[in-house]
């Protein structure tokens, strides 16, 4: 989950479809929700929902489809775009996602990816991620997310 252009589909394509970082440049915006099932570690099936981040879809997920989108979730990965010009609007969307997750999947694990960390100077990367980590820890008592800096251009995505 995350806003349009955050890199959700690029990350999914890199990890599960063997795309290179350069290949992801040809990807378009996700329309509504793209469902896929990936066999992982032998007999484990991952059901991945890549949710389009355009405003009209987000509004639909958070209101009309909230039980369908947030019901029976085991893991929610929220992607924060470091190139955003409005961090508060990102936090507001994240809060709305957590509110729905609390209503429909209280036992879910939450992970937040501070994405496009490659755009940050090397000596500022850890401080940037820590800034998000502190801000996100204050936003929910029920969900204490794992927070990781990621990029499709290096190993950080796989480490997360």
Q: What's the chain's length in residues?
A: 160
Could you tell me the CA-to-CA distances from 61 to 37, 44, 46, 134 in Å, in that order? 20, 27, 21, 27
pLDDT tens sequence for the chain (160 residues): 787 777 776 777 666 667 677 666 676 666 666 656 667 677 776 666 565 655 666 677 777 778 888 898 888 889 999 888 888 888 998 999 899 999 999 999 999 999 899 899 999 999 999 999 999 999 888 898 999 999 888 888 778 7
pLDDT, position 23: 67
Distance CA 136, CA 9 (A): 23
DSSP element (H, E) containing 78: strand 75-81
Report the candidate in 110, 104, 137 with the shortest Cα–Cα distance to residue 1: 110
Burial of 104 (0-12, 13-18, 19+ CB in 10 A): middle
Tokens 């479809």 appear where? 17
The DSSP 8-state label assigned to residue 119 in this structure reads: G
pTM of the model: 0.81
Contact 135, 114 (CB under 8 A): no
């Amino acid at each position: 989950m995350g806003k349009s252009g955050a890199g959700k589909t690029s990350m999914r394509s890199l990890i599960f479809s063997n795309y290179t970082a350069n290949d992801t440049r040809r990807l378009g915006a996700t329309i509504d929700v793209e469902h896929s099932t990936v066999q992982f570690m032998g007999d484990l099936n991952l059901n991945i929902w890549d949710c389009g981040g355009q405003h009209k879809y987000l509004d639909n997920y958070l209101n009309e489809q909230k039980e369908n989108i947030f019901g029976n979730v085991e893991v929610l990965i929220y992607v924060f775009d470091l190139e955003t010009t409005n961090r508060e609007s990102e936090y507001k969307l994240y809060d709305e996602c957590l509110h729905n997750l609390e209503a429909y999947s209280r036992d879910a694990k939450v992970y937040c990816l501070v994405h496009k960390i490659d755009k940050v100077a090397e000596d500022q990367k850890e401080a940037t991620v820590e800034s998000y980590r502190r801000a996100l820890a204050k936003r929910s008592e029920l969900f204490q997310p794992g927070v990781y800096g990621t990029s499709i251009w290096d190993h950080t995505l796989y480490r997360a």
